[in-house]
């Protein structure tokens, strides 16, 4: 999730667990603790390889096999120093532990994915039921945080924190329900066009869980469809798009390509641009525009040669849909054939 959400999310969790007389300190501590796993972006920024920067983010610092030891070290350090943690060590242990463990768990609900059990060689977990920025998910955590900050030790503060956690978790539950409804329609539509067994994923649109995008892989490339839970009726419609499968097959043995395909679960589009092979992560963006594009190889007289390091070219976005159009799509189903 976005950094702002993590601040209020962590603060509310810590304050709900810590003693009421430590509430404001717990709100601030929770903000810091829930931000800590994302600090991996700073050492990763030292690498000139964009694939390393992308695929190693949300790995060691987001691992449930690592974070318990980090939580213990932080707890032990502050307990040794005395102060609030020493006054209530059990509650503060659970506040620290829950804050750190909750961060990667929440990130796993986005399509980017999280290496929750690093260093085990598992692909990133991506339940992809939440967009990275979703105001309706952030709101209950923010309100709970604000009320607790001003109410301090009053019972209202604890009630607000519990209510915020319940509403926040409930929204995650709703996102999973919405995803299942969309995937049910997608399964029917894909089966009708002979893609019942095609690898696929679904992801919510920016800022909402009311509109979704579904992509399924095909022998020639992929198909892409949209679904509004409010407006759309009838079978889900998919549009086919091509990918340079031959070029992709020719470079599959390259370490950079293998890393990308491992990270994006194979949901990649291959395009040759001016003799350079570009892999686009289909999970983030929409045809023809994608947030992550990697130039991985160049054509050298009919032979693909790896680029070392790979590049991350910036392409002009061709889809000119503004926020107004994206919002209107939630409430209006496009005419047939569009």
- Does residue 117 lie in a domain region? yes
pLDDT tens column, 142-166: 999 999 999 999 999 999 999 999 9
Q: Assess whether 97 and 191 both reside in one domain.
A: no
**Count of all residues that appear for the chain in the document:** 338
Q: Yes or no: say if 23 and 153 are a contact pair by the CB < 8 Å rule.
A: yes
Give how many domains the chain has, as a whole number. Answer: 2
- Does residue 253 lie in a domain region? yes
pLDDT at 226 over 80: yes
H or E element at residue 90:
helix 89-107
pLDDT tens column, 182-193: 999 999 999 999
Q: Yes or no: say if 103 and 113 are a contact pair by the CB < 8 Å rule.
A: no
Domain enclosing residue 7, as ranges: 3-127
pLDDT at 338 over 80: no
- Does residue 153 lie in a domain region? no
Q: Assess whether 43 and 110 both reside in one domain.
A: yes
Nearest partner of 173 among 140, 236, 107, 129, judged by Cα: 129
pLDDT at 319: 65
Say how far apart CA 279 and CA 267 lie, in whole Å: 10
pLDDT at 23: 97
Residue in the block written with tokens 């999970």: 283
What is the mean predicted confidence (pLDDT) over 66-93? 96
pLDDT at 160: 98
Six-digit token string for 334? 């496009």
Q: Assess whether 7 and 76 both reside in one domain.
A: yes
Compute CA distances 214 → 56, 129, 183, 225, whole Å.
Answer: 26, 12, 8, 5
pTM surpassing 0.75? yes
Q: Yes or no: say if 278 and 294 are a contact pair by the CB < 8 Å rule.
A: yes
pLDDT at 317: 73
Q: Yes or no: say if 294 and 279 are a contact pair by the CB < 8 Å rule.
A: yes
Q: Assess whether 10 and 105 both reside in one domain.
A: yes
How would you write 298-311 as a 3-class SS string?
Answer: EEECCEEEEEEEEE
Residue where a domain terminates, one of 111, 127, 143 = 127
What is the mean predicted confidence (pLDDT) over 10-30? 97
Say how far apart CA 102 and CA 106 lie, in whole Å: 6
What is the mean predicted confidence (pLDDT) over 209-223? 97
pLDDT at 315: 82
Residue where a domain terminates, one of 93, 108, 127 = 127
Compute CA distances 163 → 11, 24, 26, 184, 198, whole Å.
Answer: 14, 18, 17, 31, 41
pLDDT tens column, 23-62: 999 999 999 999 999 999 999 999 999 999 999 999 999 9
Say how far apart CA 86 and CA 94 lie, in whole Å: 13
Nearest partner of 16 among 104, 100, 106, 91, judged by Cα: 91
pLDDT at 337 over 60: no
pLDDT tens column, 271-308: 999 999 999 999 999 999 999 999 999 999 889 999 99
pLDDT at 334: 82
Burial of 134 (0-12, 13-18, 19+ CB in 10 A): buried
Mean pLDDT of the chain: 95
Q: Assess whether 188 and 115 both reside in one domain.
A: no
Going by their DSSP bridges, the two strands 303-311 and 293-300 should be labelled as antiparallel
- Does residue 322 lie in a domain region? no
Q: Assess whether 8 and 117 both reside in one domain.
A: yes
pLDDT tens column, 199-213: 999 999 999 999 999
What is the mean predicted confidence (pLDDT) over 251-275? 96
What is the mean predicted confidence (pLDDT) over 85-103? 97
pLDDT at 45: 96
pLDDT at 22 over 60: yes
- Does residue 171 lie in a domain region? no
Residue where a domain terminates, one of 127, 142, 165 = 127
Q: Is 156 helix (H, G, I), strand (E, B) or coil?
A: helix
Q: Assess whether 113 and 31 both reside in one domain.
A: yes
- Does residue 109 lie in a domain region? yes
Say how far apart CA 322 and CA 261 lie, in whole Å: 30
């Amino acid at each position: 999730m976005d950094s702002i959400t993590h601040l209020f999310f962590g603060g509310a969790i810590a304050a709900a667990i810590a003693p009421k007389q430590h509430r404001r300190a717990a709100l601030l501590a929770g903000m810091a603790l829930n931000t800590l796993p994302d600090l991996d972006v700073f050492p990763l920024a030292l690498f000139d390889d964009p694939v390393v920067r992308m695929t190693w983010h949300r790995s060691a610092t987001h691992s449930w096999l690592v974070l318990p030891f980090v939580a213990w070290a932080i707890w032990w350090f502050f307990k040794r120093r005395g102060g609030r943690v020493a006054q209530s060590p059990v509650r503060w242990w659970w506040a620290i532990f829950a804050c750190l463990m909750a961060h990667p768990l929440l990130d796993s609900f986005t399509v980017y994915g999280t290496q929750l059990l690093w260093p085990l060689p598992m692909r990133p977990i991506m339940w992809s039921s939440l967009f990275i920025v979703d105001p309706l998910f952030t709101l209950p955590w923010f309100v709970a945080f604000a009320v607790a900050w001003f109410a301090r030790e009053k019972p209202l503060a604890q009630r607000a924190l519990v209510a915020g956690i319940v509403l926040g978790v409930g929204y995650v539950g709703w996102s999973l329900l919405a995803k299942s409804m969309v995937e049910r329609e997608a399964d029917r539509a894909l089966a009708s066009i002979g893609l019942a067994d095609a690898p696929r994923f679904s992801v919510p649109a920016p800022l909402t869980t009311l509109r979704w995008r579904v992509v399924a892989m095909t022998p020639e490339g992929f198909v892409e469809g949209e679904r509004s839970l409010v407006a759309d009726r009838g079978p889900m419609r998919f549009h086919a798009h091509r990918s340079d499968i031959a070029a992709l097959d020719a470079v599959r043995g390259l370490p950079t390509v293998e890393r990308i395909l491992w990270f994006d679960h194979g949901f990649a589009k291959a395009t040759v641009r001016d003799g350079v092979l570009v892999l686009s992560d289909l999970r983030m963006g929409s045809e023809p525009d994608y947030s992550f594009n990697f130039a991985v190889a160049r054509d050298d007289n009919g032979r693909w040669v790896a680029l070392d390091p790979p590049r991350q070219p910036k392409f002009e976005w061709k889809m000119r849909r503004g926020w107004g159009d994206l919002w209107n799509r939630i409430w209006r189903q496009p005419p047939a054939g569009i």
